[in-house]
Chains A and B, each alone.
Chain A
Amino acid sequence: MIFRSEASRGYTLSAPATAYVGFLVAAPLVILVAYSFWTQSYVTLDKTPTLKNYRDAFADPLVRHLMLRSIWIAGAVTAVTVALAYPIAYFIAMKARKKTIWLLLITIPFWSSYLLRVFAWKLILGFNGVMNSALLMLGLIDEPLDFLLYNEFAVVLTLAHAWAPFAILPIYVSLQKIDPSLLEAATDLGNGPIRRFMRVTLPLTIPGIIAACLIIFIPTVGDYVTPALVGGSDGKMIANLIQVQFGAANNWPLGATLSLIAMLSVGFVAIVFVLTATRLGRRIK
């Protein structure tokens, strides 16, 4: 009898998901916000509300530096990944015959763990790694290159590889949705392949590009495993600092504050990006 009305049926069906989100997303977020207004000295938690953490965070040049670097690295990862993913998605959507097989091939990296993939990059880029050995063997270099690993470049490369499928899929979907007769109409009205791409294909795939950018940018800003493993001291990001606050430094309130600052910065950048991209798309005639 609970299922009598549409509304009660809807609530019942969505209850497990609501509870899940409530306990695992909303509640931790509330706790995080609460912590950011508290202070801690050694093991005692002072629950008097204060803005001290925020003042400390904004005053600290390291925080600003790491935050900007995180956004810069995530932005670079996003740009590189989307730029490389677009041609692949275009090939699968427009040219490939066996689309399912191609899509399956793209997901193959996911069949192994992310940590393994990061370690694989360490092996490839390391001082005695695959890349250096190969270049030495070919006689192209005299001594191993040391700028391959433990810097921003390694972080960008590793993340771009890991996130490629997340960029390919939304772009593929938006390309797939384009009615082929629109492309023929553009040709018929005098456009060659490049003009046609710029005026029809690209603007119609902007939603896919935006989705791909957000899917990659938002999680990579806060990535912590990759910079910890291949970033060295040059490649450290904000998440590494946050981790230190919750771990070695044992300052949860500051950690919570930094997390919230990171979240808000990401949100701000994402909103500015979406608005700009949408506006640019509308200007194409």
Chain B
Amino acid sequence: MTDRNIIELRGVEKRYGTFVAAAGINLDLKEGEFFSLLGPSGCGKTTVLRMIAGFQEPTKGSVLIDGQDMEGVPANNRPTNMVFQSYAIFPHLNVGNNVAYGLRGKAPKAEIDQRVAEALEMVELGGLQDRGAGELSGGQRQRVALARALIMRPKVLLLDEPLSALDKKLREQMQFEMRNLQQSLGITFVMVTHDQYEAMTMSDRIGVMFNGRLKQVDTPTTLYARPCDQQVASFIGEMNILPAQLLDETGDTLSINAAAFGRMEIERNPNVATSDRNMNIGIRPEQLEIAAEKPEDYPSTVQGTVSNVAFYGENIHYHIQVAGTETPISVSVPNYFHTVDFNRGDAVWLGLQGASVIDLGQSTE
């Protein structure tokens, strides 16, 4: 990744009549970066991607690719290529001709053949040139779509929900493969996804979108640890959100009185707007300790009752009903010893370190 901006979005807005699909989008993407646009369906992330590709023109603002304003430049003349959600493999062409599609007429046949062979090798489909488009599995279609786009040597590769059509196992495998491919090629990848895990495992940075607005742009770890508000906090991973009162603040340390857990000291979150007297805090389920006896080495503790148990295999989720808050607190425990230690109705203790509590700023209610 370099410091050079390959894509710059300047106040981009897209309206359909009165419906605002995207607005106020300002975004700089670095050369060689793997960037994901993450958000629920209908949040405008695909619209942003299609405006970069040139399939849609922004109503307002400008899209710059490699420093050049793309206004009036049609999709076929932009230095971007796209992997479509449906893969859009040409059904009347075999694998080799699909991959060669964009090079036909632009390079001599021998060069095309060689580049097709290399591209197919790269996506681990070496030698499948003559395979018909209809004879491919979902994963192979995805690889052909990747090869067909990458053979064009684009400055930016755009991926529209590239893994959503694959089953879970294949999806996880492809996440790593695509990440490795991107790093070895050094091409900027911009991916649209609604899957937070996909976005987190693959991306250098993630832009989270809600209702046509770009809420937060950060690295996966920062997004997880320092979300800018409750909406982002609960979209990225699971989050227990509790109300709290701000008692005192000294530097970056906030002294608060949280529901259920009582007084504690937490770190200020620089990403949230302000921390008002009435504020919210977030606690990740895996940051809570659950025990039968009161855990001594945790400064904040609360007693509760198990209301639900869900066994996920790699970890176990408990829902704990505690005094002081209506919604049960969700706790996730790694499955170390292949035992489920607590059952519904058991009385348990929850322990918490102030350092793992996330300041979510002023309450939005």
Contact = CB atoms under 8 A, between A and B. Distances in A.
Nearest to A200: B90
Contacts of A184: 55, 75, 82, 84, 88
A189 B77 CA distance: 9
Contacts, number: 61
Interface string B106-120: 100000000000000
A192 B97 CA distance: 18
B101 A181 contact: no
Contact of A204 (B74, B91, B104): B91
Contact of A188 (B76, B86, B104, B106): B76
Interface string A181-192: 110111111111
Nearest to A192: B76
A203 interface: yes
A179 interface: yes
Contacts of B74: 187, 192
Nearest to A281: B92
Interface size grouping (class) on chain B: 20 to 34
B36 to A, nearest CB: 20
Contacts of B333: none
A189 B55 CA distance: 12
A95 interface: no
A279 interface: no
Contacts of B81: 188-189
Interface in A266-285: 281-282, 284-285
B93 interface: yes
B106 A190 contact: yes
A185 B97 contact: no
B86 A179 contact: yes
A185 B76 contact: no
Interface string A105-138: 0000000000000000000000000000000000
A21 to B, nearest CB: 33
Interface in A145-182: 179, 181-182
Interface of B: 53, 55, 74-77, 80-82, 84-86, 88, 90-93, 97, 100-102, 104, 106, 148-149, 152
13 contacts: A182-B88, A184-B75, A185-B90, A188-B76, A188-B81, A189-B76, A189-B148, A190-B77, A190-B106, A199-B101, A285-B93, A285-B100, A285-B101
